[in-house]
Amino acid sequence: MSDRAPSARTRAFVEQLAVLLESDGMPRVAGRLFGLLLVSAEPRSLDELASQLGVSKASISINARFLEEKGVVERVGRQADRRDYYCIADDILERTLEQRIAKIRRFQQSIAEARKCCTVEHEIVRARLENMDLAYNHLIDATGQALNAWRARRDKRTTPSLTTSR
């Protein structure tokens, strides 16, 4: 592993991704960490990540645990090395879509409960809640279909290459 600073293009990508993820509620350092790991071929130690991102090791540690809890990075070890290394999870797209479905489902369930238990006297409000309920159901179905299609495509692509490479 190298503590060599990322190229200007890599730094720009990492920052752009961090800004996008920050607008979605993720801490900026976590977004930068995710971006750097996304373009890293090998797992990186906390020391390497801190050096390459120019932040403290403590900040990297906190944000690495945050991303690990989200299921987008994994902590890995190396033989005869006590340090922790981090890399992007292999099934990141699947995990991300599953999390998105779960989040949409929570919103949809809240709207469905509101439609059941709240006395809504105005037709506009009833229609709004009904449309939101329908939209969330549609999003859950569409995202589930996308996830299933991805799994089928991934399985088609990975199965032959796994058997031929052994």
Helix, strand, coil percentages in the chain from 3-state DSSP, rounded to 5: 70, 10, 20
By percentage, how much of the chain surpasses pLDDT 90?
61
What residue ranges do the domains of the chain occupy?
A: 8-88, 92-155
The band of 157, judged by pLDDT with boundaries at 50, 70 and 90, is confident
Q: Of 53, 19, 23, 22, nearest to 36 (Cα)?
A: 53
By percentage, how much of the chain surpasses pLDDT 70?
92
Q: Mean per-residue pLDDT for 91-104?
A: 90
Question: What CATH fold (topology level) applies to the domain 8-88?
Answer: Arc Repressor Mutant, subunit A (1.10.10)
Task: Report the distance separating Cα 66 and Cα 76, nearest Å.
Answer: 15
The pLDDT tens digits of the residues spanning 24-63 come to: 899 999 999 999 999 999 999 999 999 999 999 999 999 9
Global pTM value:
0.75
Beta bridge partners of 78: 81
Task: Report the distance separating Cα 17 and Cα 32, nearest Å.
Answer: 7
Cα dist from 3 to 17, 51, 54, 83, 123, whole Å: 21, 6, 11, 15, 62
- At residue 163, the pLDDT reads 46
